[in-house]
Amino acid sequence: MKIDLRIDAVVLEGLALAPGERGAFERALRREVTRLLVVHGVPSRWPADGGELAPPAVGLEVGRSGGPDALGRQVGAALWRAISETPTPTAGETP
């Protein structure tokens, strides 16, 4: 099975990433969403016909500790909660 997940935009209000941190953040976010997809499988609410799913905006309070990798995992976990019915209590944790 091939799944093509496209994220058009991630808005980080009040939290600027340094030029070198953006790539690390994006890779960490992608890894976390991919990991959760592997662990939990395709959520039943995803369109079976390959259509698009537009999740609601996700609010998340984060700190800068852990750098762009930790931030990417936190945002990835929050995104997963928004696009699936599967709760993920802690970023990076396998249930």
Give pLDDT, residue 95: 46
Look at residue 30 and tell me if it is in a domain. yes
Alpha carbon 4 to its chain centroid, in Å, reads 14
Give the DSSP per-residue string, 13-65: TT-PPPTTHHHHHHHHHHHHHHHHHHHH-S-TTS-TTS----PPP------ST
Count of domains observed in the chain: 1
**Domain extent at residue 74:** 20-41+58-95
For the record, the structure tokens of 55 come out as 């999740």
Look at residue 3 and tell me if it is in a domain. no
Look at residue 7 and tell me if it is in a domain. no
Look at residue 49 and tell me if it is in a domain. no
For the record, the structure tokens of 78 come out as 């929050």
Look at residue 94 and tell me if it is in a domain. yes
pLDDT tens-digit profile of 2-58? 777 777 778 887 777 888 898 999 999 999 988 998 888 887 777 777 667 666 676
Look at residue 14 and tell me if it is in a domain. no
Give pLDDT, residue 27: 92
